[in-house]
Amino acid sequence: MAKIVILGAGIGGIPMAYELRQAIGEHHEIVLISKGDKFNFVPSNPWVMVNWRQRNEVEFTVTDYIEKAGIKFICTGVKKLNPTENKLVLFDESEINYDYLIIATGPKLAFDEIEGMGPEHYSHSVCTIDHAEKAAQAWSELLANPRPAIVGAAQGASCFGPAYETALIMDTDLRRHGIRDQVPLVFVTSEPYLGHLGLGGVGDSIKLLEQEFIKRNIQWICNAKITKIKKNQLSLDEYQADGSIKQHHEIKSNFNMILPAFKGIDAFIGLDGLINPRGFILVDQHQANPKYPNIYALGVCVAIPPVEQTVVATGAPKTGYMIESMVTAIAQNLKAVLNGEAQHTQASLNTVCFADFGDGGAAFVAIPQFKPRQYDWFYEGKLVHYAKVAFEKYYTYKVKNGISEPFYEKFIMNMLGIIKTHDDNETK
């Protein structure tokens, strides 16, 4: 009997536990360890920021659901990994051994890389439910006392979809409150152009997002490197294609939501061969680490190179569709290893994502992530908003009910099929 420990009960870790249980049966022990006993459906956090969702709608305790599936659950996080001894040290100093380890610990948010950044200082975030709730308070204050706001993504960020999403949701909410004319909105981003999305653009993303921003009077600054955030002011350097500074900006703002760059969590710092310089876990084509082949990784914590070099650093997004294909690859490869067979399953690493705009939305599909692509399209329309709501409902159902089949793929593909058919009919 093998003991398999999974770290992280997030979008990647929980489906990993269920799918692995189904793949390898009851004979092997599976332990899921997370920091806390809650699951947060992260993609809904922008709705929490504008008070369209409450905490209890996007976060819930998972212990009972996990244990019902025959998986042991420990909610004391991991402080240190000792991969040569196959051992984990938890925050309460207890130790756990494993035969196989699967890491799905998501990102560490690199607020410390910019002076004054982060919810402890002068910018908000929607990356965690705590951050989104804090931002919601400030948002309510802004609605009561309208003033300029900034939204965007910092240098080194990889998760651009939620930055656009939050900008457009803010715009929608301000219009609903009848105060959009009193809140100038500026979008700042490290992307070289609007709609780059860390992917070098997807389909018509450049044209469509520019049109949407123009239509909604959202100003933007690309190639932006934020230098400092102070109370009521954000400073940034705007770069030119040759790498020189085009302009220094100091923008007055009373509300900032800036998505930070990501890095790997502290538990793996210093483990040469396990992580890259940003702390992301190195994996081979089977999602296993080359130096420690009994360690697998999935989700945002995995090292993936940028799709292309940009003047100001950007990373490649790691979204739910891609994460689910990593889950399936690990479940199948570990099953093969336990049966004494060769590993053969590879994650598809494609990007499919829905971004909600509050009163509409955008779906983008990049298959594969690197160009040239077989499928490269971007659709904007009301249906995406409904698809995103459905995505939230189905995903939380999956987490609560232990459904292990990768139905996210089927769900997304069905929704994309509906959207595309609708789109084709509209253009006829």
Token pair, residue 379, equals: 């659709």
Say whether 159 is catalytic. yes
Total Cβ atoms within 10 A of residue 396: 17
Task: Using the rule CB under 6 A, give the single segment among 29-37, 143-151, 198-206, 328-336 that binds ligand FAD.
Answer: 29-37
Shortest distance (Å) from residue 292 CB to ligand FAD: 17
CA–CA distance, 298 with 318 (Å, rounded to integer) = 10
Binding residue for ligand FAD (CB under 6 A) from 35, 53, 263, 335? 35
CA–CA distance, 403 with 161 (Å, rounded to integer) = 27
Shortest distance (Å) from residue 364 CB to ligand FAD: 10
Could you give the residue ranges of the DSSP H alpha helices within 278-319? none
32 near ligand FAD, rule: CB under 6 A? no
Total Cβ atoms within 10 A of residue 7: 30
Among all chains, which residue has been given the structure tokens 């082949």?
A: 293
Binding residue for ligand FAD (CB under 6 A) from 5, 19, 21, 43? 43
Strand (E) or helix (H) holding 263: strand 262-263
Task: Using the rule CB under 6 A, give the single segment among 39-47, 63-71, 185-193, 230-238 that binds ligand FAD.
Answer: 39-47
Contact 151, 163 (CB under 8 A): yes
Considering only residues 122 to 151 of the shown chain, the ones binding ligand FAD according to CB under 6 A are: 126-127
Number of residues that bind ligand FAD (CB under 6 A): 34
Q: Which of 127, 222, 301, 353 is catalytic?
A: 353
CA–CA distance, 393 with 226 (Å, rounded to integer) = 36
Shortest distance (Å) from residue 425 CB to ligand FAD: 26
Task: Using the rule CB under 6 A, give the single segment among 4-12, 145-153, 230-238, 334-342 that binds ligand FAD.
Answer: 4-12
Residue with smaller CB distance to ligand FAD, 194 or 316: 316
Considering only residues 320 to 359 of the shown chain, the ones binding ligand FAD according to CB under 6 A are: 320-321, 323, 353-354
Total Cβ atoms within 10 A of residue 15: 29
In our burial notation (b when 16+ CB lie closer than 10 A, e otherwise), range 381-391 reads bebbbbbbeeb
Shortest distance (Å) from residue 76 CB to ligand FAD: 8
306: buried, middle or exposed (CB in 10 Å: 19+, 13-18, 0-12)?
Answer: middle
Token pair, residue 342, equals: 């060769």
Mask: binding to ligand FAD, 170-189, rule CB under 6 A, as x and -? --------------------
Contact 112, 261 (CB under 8 A): no
Say whether 222 is catalytic. no
Task: Using the rule CB under 6 A, give the single segment among 103-111, 171-179, 190-198, 279-287 that binds ligand FAD.
Answer: 103-111
Binding region for ligand FAD (CB under 6 A): 7-13, 33-36, 42-43, 45, 77-78, 104-106, 126-127, 159, 162, 265, 267, 299-301, 319-321, 323, 353-354
Residues with catalytic roles: 159, 353
